[in-house]
Copies of this chain bind each other. A is one copy, B any other.
Amino acid sequence: MLRAGVDLGGTKIQVAVIDPDGEILGQCRVPTPQDHGPQGVLDAIAHSVRDAVADASAQLDQLIGVGVGSPGQIDVDSGTVSHAGNLPDWSGSVAVGPRLREALGVPIEVGNDVQVAVMAESTLGAGRPYSSMIGVFCGTGVGGGIVIDDQLWLGRGAAGEIGHMVVEPDGAPCTCGKRGCLEAYAGRAAMEIEARRLVAKGKKTDLFTIMEHKGRTRLASGVWAKALAHHDHMATKLITRAEWALGIGIASAVNLLDVEAIVIGGGLGLRLGAPFVDRIRSQMMPHLLQPEKPPQVLLATLGDLGGAVGAGLLVEHTVAPTEQLGAVGDHDD
């Protein structure tokens, strides 16, 4: 009764094989192929699932299914992914579910990458003791997910976009085209644009030197973490601004929803860690209607594997193992 989960991102594919308790038995992580379009990505996913299964000392036919957490717009029923701008040459709609089923011979479930990561934290991570929580995932953007009565609340399909709550009317430009969104202050993409703007104006920072030392072309989360550890003035200022915006957005969400817990995750959240979470909590407090009854504000505990584990949870225990028999092995390459 094993399940595999795939965290499909623009730069890496992370796979985890989990047992019925969500324990990780095997894993595999590869760069997302950039040169062969969707087929290259799907091939890499299929390979990685096989490798992770081998890492778990298991066989493919022991999997009751594979869950895929993907960026873009997901059609859960058909298993298609469209508008996934982060993925290479991903134009139109790609039948991720059917094509992986063909390649692996097991049932495939496809879900939203942030939402599966939030459900992983709710079910197995920091949010486990609570039946209501909001996941706030700071990475390139600021994604989120709302858990109510232990279930993900999807609204009409797009709920959870805490990154696009307005924290300052007519404020900083957001990558979504609007202004003053939380993501315009606390998303890595917007933070990098602001850092480059300040540098162009002659401001000093070690952010880009650290980036080059690390062999990166973008201000990855680790770059921000290192610059902050070295008390870089610009990095400190921009991260403090991000915490200020997160405090406002989270407090507004808490005043509206009165959830038990806030779980901070994502690349930036994980790299900046507990001190970042503590400072966000401090920034939240003055805006709470009931400061005497604050929610728990917690760091995600599943780390970089949360997305893959959460994708694995998409596969229901109830999928009949017999459904996959016969196809297994036919597509081995």
Contacts and interface: CB of A to CB of B under 8 A. Distances in A.
Contacts of A293: 156, 158
- Interface range on chain A (Cβ under 8 Å from partner): 35 or more
Nearest to A295: B156
Contact of A257 (B132, B159, B260, B289): B159
A162 B256 contact: yes
A256 B159 contact: yes
A275 interface: no
A248 B164 contact: no
How many chain copies does the complex carry?
Answer: 2
Contacts of A176: 289
Interface stretch (A165-173, A204-212, A217-225): A165-173
Interface stretch (A62-70, A146-154, A266-274, A310-318): A146-154
Interface in A292-308: 293
A156 B258 contact: yes
Contacts of A161: 255-256, 258, 289
Contacts of A16: none
A27 interface: no
11 contacts: A148-B153, A156-B259, A158-B290, A158-B293, A159-B257, A161-B256, A162-B256, A165-B256, A166-B252, A167-B169, A168-B168
Given A148-B148, A164-B252, 15 more contacts: A146-B257, A154-B258, A155-B257, A156-B258, A156-B293, A160-B258, A161-B255, A161-B256, A164-B255, A164-B289, A166-B252, A166-B287, A168-B168, A252-B252, A256-B256
